[in-house]
Structure 1
Amino acid sequence: MDTEPMKNEKNTATPAEHQTITDNFVVLDQHIKRGEQIINTLTLRKPSSGELRGLHLLDLLQFDVAATIKILPRISQPTITEPEAAGMDPADLLACGQVIAGFLLQKRAKAAASLIA
């Protein structure tokens, strides 16, 4: 009898929970609407040094709103515009900022942080 509630709980999972979540995948709480297209998720890729031109790395590490809005169109898939990034829900913008900050750490630093945390 104890297994029945567990089966029911598994069946109530949302589609987003069934997707393979990677470190660079952000499920948006508030979708972005572009004409008829609705964007529910963003996949962010690690920016190249050239794509960081005009930005301060420290601003990205401190989750600076302006810097995050500026970099998102350069690294998001599907590509979003700066005005779309500026109109994002703050929680979604923060989630993107966390992914971006993670891109700026070396693998050694990520491994060390995992051991400490």
Structure 2
Amino acid sequence: MTDKTTAPAELPQVVTETVELDSPIQRGSQTVTELQIRKPKSGALRGVALTDVLQMQVDALTKVLPRITEPALAEAEIRDMDPADLVQCGGVVSGFLLPAKTKAGEQ
């Protein structure tokens, strides 16, 4: 009998981007000054149209951002977010959805 051992598969690298908030979010005694936004997988985009996310529609971002931010934001916190911060977050999310070829052409 041969013992077949396999090397553990490497975990896929999680792509994240940091957004520094212009207007920090206050959570009781905690102040959130920056967010880590991770590149969403398809499951994090369920229930929203990709075109709405790419166009940074507020309703779409309100659904997606709680699924991909660290610390995780509540929908109410996103609705109360400074518009400039929401635009920053939306830009990051929509940038994650662009194909690598498109991003390479921008440089």
Q: Does 1:85 align with 2:86?
A: no
Structure 2 counterparts to residues 20-31 of structure 1, below 5 A: 24-31=17-24
Q: CA RMSD in A?
A: 1.4
Q: Give, in whole Å, the separation in 2 of the partners of 1:51 and 1:60.
A: 12
| Percentage of identical aligned residues | 49
Counterpart in 1 of 2:101? 108
Structure 1 residue 57 corresponds to structure 2 residue 67: no
Q: Determine helix, strand or coil for the equivalent of 1:24.
A: strand
| SS of the residue 2:26 aligns to | strand
Structure with the higher fraction of residues in helix conformation: 1
Partners of 2:98 and 2:84 lie apart in 1 by 22
TM-score of the aligned structures, taking structure 1 as reference length: 0.76
Following TM superposition, the consecutive aligned residue runs of length 4 or more in structure 1 with deviations greater than 2 angstroms are none
SS at match of 1:38: strand
Structure 1 residue runs of 5 or longer lacking an equivalent are: 1-22
Distance (whole Å) between structure 2 residues aligned to residue 69 and residue 94 of structure 1: 12
**Structure 1: how far apart are the matches of 2:85 and 2:79?**
11
Gaps of 5+ in 2: 1-15
Aligned to 1:71: 64
CA shift at 1:112, angstroms?
1.1
Q: Which has the higher strand share?
A: 2
The aligned length equals 93
1:9-44 per-position Cα deviation (integer Å, ceiling 9, x unaligned): xxxxxxxxxxxxxx7111101110111110000010
- TM-score by length of structure 2 reads 0.83
